[in-house]
Structure 1
Amino acid sequence: MSLTWSESDVNNLIKFAKQSFNNNDRANLEKCVRNGSCSEYSPHSDSLKLDKNQNNNFKRGEDDLVGQLLDDLWSSYGKISLFLEEVIESASATYRNIVNKGVKQGLSLPSDSDYNIAFLSWKNQLNKYLKRYVIQQLQSESIKMSRQGSLFSLKNEYNNFDGETISNLMFNSFTVVNNFTGQSSNGTFSELEFMEYNGLFKRVEKSTDLFYDNCFVLWLNSSQLDKTKHKNTKMVLEKLCEIPYELTNKCKILLQVISSVCVTYMEAGKSSIMPHVDGENNGVQFTCLYVPKSPPDSSIDITINQNTHTVNFQNDQLIILGKNVKYEIKKVKEKCFIFMAWLTGPD
C-alpha cells in the first residue's frame, strides 16, 4: 500500500464498509458472483416460508463453495484490507469525474446530492472489488474441482432432447425446446406468483448489476419445495437439473451437476434484461432459460457473431444458449417468470 494505515483506521474503514451494505446490496453481490459460478445458491431453510428468516451467512449448505468464499472474505479483515485502498482511490476518481462533469455543465450540487454521489461511488467500487476477489478464488478452485469426476454429471439415462435439438445447440450455439415439461403453464406460474406475493423475490439493484433492470430474483432448490404446494415448480426444477447429465452424455463434454436454479421475476412494463453474456471467464458452457408462461408479444434477442436471432416466447419453453452468446429480453407487457440455470465445466 502506498499509504501507511493504522490498524484502528483499517478496522474502522472495514466496519464502515460492512455497514454501508444493506440486505439488498448483499443479495446483489451474491447474485453477481453466483451467476455462472461453479456452485449455486440453496436457501438455508426447510421450507420457502422460512426464507426471509435465514441467517446472515452467505453459505447455504456444506457443499456451497461460493457461499464459503463470500463468508471467508466478509469475515476477514485481512483479506478486505488487501484492496481497501484501491476501493477508496477508485471511488474518489469516480466521484471527481461525476462532480467535475456537473461543474462543467454549470450545475451546483446541494450537500445531500454531493453525499449521495460520494456514497454510491464508494459502494459501487467496493462491490466491484469484492466480486473480483471472489471470482479469482472461484477460478482457482474450479481448476481443482475439474479434476474430481464425482462433481460432474456422468449419468446417461435422460432423453429429453432429440438429435435436432442437440445439433442446433452444437452447430448454431443455441436451441429451442417447446413443450419442455409437457405440463400446464398455469400451475407453475400460480405457484411462483404466490411466492412473489409473499415477498420471497429480492430486487436486483441496477447499481450493482447493470444488466437486470427492475428485476427480482429467487433461488430455489427442489428438495426444499413442498410436494403438494409447489408440485409444478418442483417438477420443473427436477427437469432442469437433468440437463447437465444429458448434455454431458450427448455433447461429449463435462458439465458440473446443479441442484438449484435462479428464478427471475420481470414486472409488466418495467423489467428488462439488457444485452449481455453470462459468466464471462467463469467457466459457463451453457445458459438455460425456461419460460413456464409467456407474456403476449414477448421475445428474446440472441446475438451470435454480430447476427441477431429473435425467438418469440411460448408457454413451457426452454432455450439453451451456448458459451459466450449474448442475449437481451426487452420489457414485457405482463409479469413473467424465467427459470435460469448456468451450466459450468472445464473448457
Structure 2
Amino acid sequence: MAVKWSLEETEQFLRYARHSLNAQERASFERSLRLEADSCRHRQCRDGTEQVASQPKEDSDHCHRFQKGQDDVIGKCVDELWNSDQQFAVVVQEALENAVNSYERVKEKGLKDGLKLSQEVDRNIMSTAWKQSFTKSLIKASSMKIQEQCRRRATDGSLCAMSGMMPLAALMSVAVEDYSTLEPEVIRNLMTDGIGVQNRYAGVNTSSLTRELEFIQYNGAFNLVQDANSVYEGCSVLWMKPEHLSPEHQKETLAAVKNIKCLPFELCKRCKLMLQVMSFLRVVLMSNEGAKIKRHQDSLEAGVMFTVLYVASLRSEGPVHLKVNAQDKSMEIKLEPDMLILLKYVQGINMQTEFRSNVFYEINPFSGKMFIISSMITGAQ
C-alpha cells in the first residue's frame, strides 16, 4: 500500500538520509564508488578517501563535499546528486523501498528460526537494512551520472586532429609550439621504415615519474589482466586521461602524457596526414614474474594507424628489448626510460594495387619493473 508523504515529512526524511552515514561510512561509500568507477575506466588516479575520514563533522545538510579537486569528476557528480533535493529524493525513495523489503525478509527468517526479536535488535536490523540499501542506491545513481559526464568529456576520441583546426587544439590544451616534439630523423624513419625511436622524448625527471606511477600503483589503481587470451599476459593495466592527473602530485606524469597527446597534431602538421586525436591512454605495468607483451600487431582493416609506446619507467637487472618486425625487417630496440617508440601500420589501395605494412612487436619476460604508456592513433591515408 503506497503512502503519500507531505512536503514536511519528505524534507525531514531527506535531512535524516543525509545525516544517516557517519564519516567512516561515507569514506567506505566513496571507496566503493571510486572502485566501481574504476571498473568503467573512469577512476581518478587520486582516491581521496583518506581525506574523507579526516574531515570535520558537518553542521548542516550541505556542508560535506565529496569533490576533492577541480578535476575530480566522481566527487563532483556525487555532490550534484547529494545537494539536489529532486535527484536525492529519487535515490532515497528507491533505497527506502529496498530497505523495507530487506528488513521484512530478515525479520521473517529470524522469527521462522525461532529467534527472539528484541527492540534493540529490531532497531539494528532497520538501521543496517537502510544503510546498505542507501549506499547501493547512491552508488547506482552516482555511477550513472559519472558515466554520462565522462561520455561528454571523452568525445575528443572521435575528433580530427588536423593542424588547421586551432579551436580543437585549444580545446585539447595543445599549443602551436607543441608541434615540434619529434626530431626530424625520427619522423623520416617512421614514414619510410615504419619505426621511429626517440630518446629523452618528454625530458621529464624519470625518478620523480617513477615515484608518481608507483604511488598510483600502491593506491590500487592498476587492474591485473585476467583474460588468458590478452596480449598483456601477467601485466596490470590502467586507463587514464590528462584530467585524471593532479598538476601538484603527478607533475612529471602529466607532462609526459600531454606530450603524447600532442602526437596526432604534430603528425598531421608535419606529415600532411588526417588523424584522430587520442582519448584515453593505456598504462601497462610489467612487474610480475613471467609478465610479457605477446607478439601481436595493432591494426585496422583500412587506413593509417600509429602505435605509440612510451617507456615511462624501467628498472631491471639486465637489458630489456622491444622486438619489432616491420616491413619485412626485424630489429631489437633496447628500452630506456623516457623513450618514445612509434610504429606505423598502413593498409590501403595504391594505383589499384593493395598494399600492406604489418608491424608486429613483443616484450619478453624480464627481471625488474617497467611502466609503459601506450596508445593507438587512427586516421586516413
TM-score range, shorter chain: 0.5 to 0.7
Contact 2:224 / 2:234 at 8 angstroms: preserved in 1?
A: yes
Deviations 1:135-190 (A, max 9, x none): xxxxxxx7xx6699869769753211222111000001011100111222111111
Task: Determine the C-alpha separation between the residues in 2 that align with 1:65 and 1:231.
Answer: 25
Structure 1 residue corresponding to 2:227, chosen from 181, 206, 214: 206
Structure 1 residue corresponding to 2:300, chosen from 258, 280, 295: 280
Partner of 1:114 in structure 2? none
Structure 2 residue corresponding to 1:197, chosen from 194, 218, 229: 218
1:283 to partner: Cα distance: 5.5
Structure 2 residue corresponding to 1:270, chosen from 290, 294, 301: 290
Task: Determine the C-alpha separation between the residues in 2 that align with 1:291 and 1:232.
Answer: 13
Which amino acid counterpart does residue 221 of structure 1 have in structure 2? Answer: K
Task: Determine the C-alpha separation between the residues in 2 that align with 1:340 and 1:167.
Answer: 21
Secondary structure at the counterpart of residue 345 of structure 1? strand
Secondary structure at the counterpart of residue 151 of structure 2? coil
Structure 2 residue corresponding to 1:181, chosen from 198, 202, 205: 202
1:284 to partner: Cα distance: 5.7
Structure 2 residue corresponding to 1:300, chosen from 300, 309, 322: 322
Task: Determine the C-alpha separation between the residues in 2 that align with 1:147 and 1:231.
Answer: 25
* 276-285 or 318-327, which deviates more: 276-285
Contact 1:295 / 1:332 at 8 angstroms: preserved in 2?
A: no
* 292-301 or 153-162, which deviates more: 153-162
Structure 1 vs Structure 2 CA RMSD: 3.4
Q: How does 1:133-152 map to 2 (within 5 A)?
A: none
2:375 counterpart of 1:341: yes
2:339 counterpart of 1:317: yes
Contact 1:48 / 1:224 at 8 angstroms: preserved in 2?
A: no
Task: Determine the C-alpha separation between the residues in 2 that align with 1:328 and 1:268.
Answer: 16
1:257 to partner: Cα distance: 1.7
Partner of 2:236 in structure 1? 216
1:274 to partner: Cα distance: 0.4
Secondary structure at the counterpart of residue 171 of structure 1? helix
Which amino acid counterpart does residue 260 of structure 1 have in structure 2? Answer: F
Partner of 1:115 in structure 2? none
Q: Aligned pair in 2 of structure 1 residues 46, 217: CA closer, same or farther (>3 Å)? A: closer
Task: Determine the C-alpha separation between the residues in 2 that align with 1:195 and 1:147.
Answer: 30
Contact 2:286 / 2:371 at 8 angstroms: preserved in 1?
A: yes
1:224 to partner: Cα distance: 2.3
Task: Determine the C-alpha separation between the residues in 2 that align with 1:340 and 1:255.
Answer: 17
Which amino acid counterpart does residue 61 of structure 1 have in structure 2? Answer: R
Task: Determine the C-alpha separation between the residues in 1 that align with 2:215 and 2:227.
Answer: 25
Task: Determine the C-alpha separation between the residues in 2 that align with 1:242 and 1:289.
Answer: 14
Task: Determine the C-alpha separation between the residues in 1 that align with 2:45 and 2:295.
Answer: 36
Q: Aligned pair in 2 of structure 1 residues 284, 186: CA closer, same or farther (>3 Å)? A: farther
Q: Percent identity?
A: 28
Contact 2:290 / 2:365 at 8 angstroms: preserved in 1?
A: yes
Q: Aligned pair in 2 of structure 1 residues 279, 62: CA closer, same or farther (>3 Å)? A: farther
Larger RCO, structures 1/2 (Cα 8 Å, 6+ apart) = 1
Contact 2:204 / 2:255 at 8 angstroms: preserved in 1?
A: no
Task: Determine the C-alpha separation between the residues in 2 that align with 1:281 and 1:229.
Answer: 40
1:278 to partner: Cα distance: 1.3
Partner of 1:110 in structure 2? none
Q: How does 1:1-347 map to 2 (within 5 A)?
A: 43=42, 45=44, 47-49=46-48, 55=143, 60-64=150-154, 156-157=176-177, 158-207=179-228, 209-281=229-301, 285-296=305-316, 297-323=319-345, 324-347=358-381
Q: Aligned pair in 2 of structure 1 residues 295, 306: CA closer, same or farther (>3 Å)? A: farther
1:305 to partner: Cα distance: 3.2
Deviations 1:82-120 (A, max 9, x none): xxxxxxxxxxxxxxxxxxxxxxxxxxxxxxxxxxxxxxx
1:229 to partner: Cα distance: 0.9
Which amino acid counterpart does residue 288 of structure 1 have in structure 2? Answer: V
Secondary structure at the counterpart of residue 233 of structure 1? helix
Task: Determine the C-alpha separation between the residues in 2 that align with 1:195 and 1:185.
Answer: 15
Task: Determine the C-alpha separation between the residues in 1 that align with 2:143 and 2:364.
Answer: 35
Which amino acid counterpart does residue 318 of structure 1 have in structure 2? Answer: L
Report the count of equivalent residues: 234
Gaps of 5+ in 2: 1-34, 50-73, 76-138, 346-357
Secondary structure at the counterpart of residue 143 of structure 2? coil
* 280-289 or 317-326, which deviates more: 280-289
- Given the two structures, how large is their TM-score scaled by the length of structure 1? 0.59
1:335 to partner: Cα distance: 1.4
Deviations 1:283-321 (A, max 9, x none): 661111111222331110010134311000012111111
1:44 to partner: Cα distance: 5.4
- Given the two structures, how large is their TM-score scaled by the length of structure 2? 0.54
Task: Determine the C-alpha separation between the residues in 1 that align with 2:295 and 2:235.
Answer: 14
